Amino acid sequence: MELSVPIMIYAYWAFAFLVGIIFFKKDILAFNREFDTRRITLLIASIIVVAINACVYSQSTTDGGRALDWLTVLVFSIGNGIAETFMFYAVFRLGEILANKMSSDTWQLIPKQSSFIVGFLFFMVYSGLVHGLFWINILPQHVVQTSLYKPFFMPVQMLIASSWALSFFWYRDIRSVIFLHALVDLTMVCNVKFSLFN
């Protein structure tokens, strides 16, 4: 029996929520209250990048004439914003943990202080896999290959990933990334226009 697209999305979210709650409950419930100049600058830069993404994405996609489902907009933006941030954080932390082990005095396989780079690589690999193998296959056709904005899509995605990885690394800030991810998902669902309830 083939699963419907909504069921596949809900199953992915359920798995992500379990990963978040089981492994990162402390980080999810805690909130770093330090708002130094670096963090404020990072948040402002992140919001600017998300706004640029909205422009690039809206000019690089088509809704294929589908109607906008406002309930899907609300549920998907919040649900995927939370769930996928949990997964991004999980793979980033996994990379950090592995890097710390590999750079320990016992192993000495990579230089010390490599945890951000390895965490970021894990984040990027996971992001590429989940979007390339999952989302692109279950969402309706929406990419406009001839768009003049399409070449800017990947560089903007790299900027988004970099800012979120820095939020994880410097501040263990999951909440701000959830908010930013929800904005990115809001842009996506408003442009692609699909339904979770059909």
Could you read off the pLDDT of 95-105 as tens digits, one per residue?
999 999 998 88
Number of domains, the chain:
1
For 56-73, the DSSP string reads HHHHHB--TTPPP-HHHH
Which pLDDT belongs to residue 110? 85
Report yes or no on 77 lying in a domain.
yes
Report yes or no on 198 lying in a domain.
no
User: Phi/psi class of residue 62: alpha, beta or left (left: φ > 0; alpha: ψ in -120 to 50)?
Assistant: beta
User: Phi/psi class of residue 172: alpha, beta or left (left: φ > 0; alpha: ψ in -120 to 50)?
Assistant: left
Cα 155–chain centre separation: 15
Structural domain boundaries enclosing 146: 5-192
Measured distance CA(115)–CA(100) in Å, rounded: 6
Q: How would residue 111 be classed by pLDDT, with cut points 50, 70 and 90?
A: confident
Report yes or no on 100 lying in a domain.
yes
Report yes or no on 61 lying in a domain.
yes
Could you read off the pLDDT of 155-174 as tens digits, one per residue?
999 999 999 999 999 999 99
Report yes or no on 19 lying in a domain.
yes
Could you read off the pLDDT of 78-93 as tens digits, one per residue?
999 999 999 999 999 9
- Percent of the chain clearing pLDDT 90 (strictly above): 81
Report yes or no on 96 lying in a domain.
yes
Measured distance CA(86)–CA(167) in Å, rounded: 13
Report yes or no on 197 lying in a domain.
no
Distances in Å between the Cα of 18 and the Cα atoms of 7, 13, 82, 133 are 16, 9, 12, 21
Report yes or no on 121 lying in a domain.
yes
